[in-house]
Amino acid sequence: MPAPRTVLLTGAAGGLGTLMRSLLPEYGYTLRLFDVRPVEGEPDAITADLADRDALREAVRGVDAVLHLAGISLEAPFEKILRSNVEGTYHLYEAARQEGVPRIVFASSNHAVGFTPAPRAGEPLIPVDTPRRPDTFYGLSKSFGEDLAQLYWDKHGLETVSVRIGSCFPEPTSVRMLSVWMSPADGARLFHAALTAEEVGHTVVYGSSANTRLWWDLTSARALGYEPRDDSEPYAGKLVAEQGELDPENPAHSHLGGHFVNDPPIWPH
Ligand SMILES: NC(=O)c1ccc[n+]([C@@H]2O[C@H](COP(=O)([O-])OP(=O)(O)OC[C@H]3O[C@@H](n4cnc5c(N)ncnc54)[C@H](O)[C@@H]3O)[C@@H](O)[C@H]2O)c1
């Protein structure tokens, strides 16, 4: 696949979309922006919902790849998750298939495997092929997205890198985040690798920096050419002093998904 130049960025108005809008152009991409909300300072951004199939068809027409970040990014009532994350992602894949877009980089999440116990000291890191154990309807929708990506690769030859993002924020803000943090600069490095690596088929990777306290195995991400440069450890002293070390007896501390594992479900009423 020739190196992609024009990339559709869905979810461009969101937190991660905003970070990537500033970081990815340095890699030579021209970004086409898409979000249901207007993107501040970007009058050419496409303002449309993932439910709008015509808008999606037009948005993906002629792009070399899609970085699919749009969707509900936290737990929410099932119907909302269904509409944006399940149906919306399906509509995006259909538009990409119909327009011949060769690759999608899909923002999956650690919450697709959130009920997986975090490794204790000395235990092996969690591999990408660990059974999926969603911790929420949100995590379930990311699990669906990974299966959808596999289907579109097997059936239609549309490639995907599913990135199970940990937490991509400028700085880690909790002790758990020391294990799952992905610096924005490493996020851009990983998305760039996912957009440009040869012959990815459907590849699942974890998205994080090279954290000293890392919980999962970055081998499949490194195989794409990703070389993380950051580590959350310099933030550890302050965060541990404020919050204490993780308590292995607390389910919110001892599973990959953190507090998502014991937050009560959000019902529609
Ligand atoms: N930020 C992280 O650390 C993190 C971690 C794991 C996974 N992710 C995933 O990465 C993506 C981006 O995360 P974020 O933190 O920027 O979230 P965010 O909520 O800040 O941004 C999501 C964007 O998607 C847009 N959106 C939602 N539903 C839409 C729809 N139906 N049609 C069009 N646009 C829609 C929203 O308007 C918003 O701008 C999400 O898919 C999220 O699940 C993020």
What's 243's domain CATH number?
A: 3.40.50.720
Number of domain units in the chain: 1
What pTM, to 2 d.p., does this model score?
Answer: 0.97
Centroid of ligand 1 to alpha carbon of 12 (angstroms): 8
Pairwise CA distance, residues 221 & 14, whole Å: 24
CA distance 122 to 110: 21
- pLDDT tens for 37-96 read 999 999 999 999 999 999 999 999 999 999 999 999 999 999 999 999 999 999 999 999
Ligand 1 neighbours by CB, cut-off 6 Å: 11, 13-17, 35-37, 49-50, 69-73, 84, 88, 107, 109, 165, 167-168
Q: How far is the CA of 123 from the centre of ligand 1 (A)?
A: 32
Residue-range definition of the domain harbouring residue 169: 6-261
Atom of ligand 1 nearest to the CA of 70: 24
For residue range 189-244, list pLDDT tens digits in order.
999 999 999 999 999 999 999 999 999 999 999 999 999 999 999 999 999 999 99
Asked if residue 266 is part of any domain, the answer here is no
Distance, CA 224 to ligand 1 centroid (Å)? Answer: 24
Q: Is residue 267 part of a domain?
A: no
Based on the number of CB atoms within 10 Å of its own CB, is 27 exposed (0-12), middle (13-18) or buried (19 or more)?
A: middle
Q: Is residue 11 in some structural domain?
A: yes
Q: Residue 216 carries which DSSP code? A: B
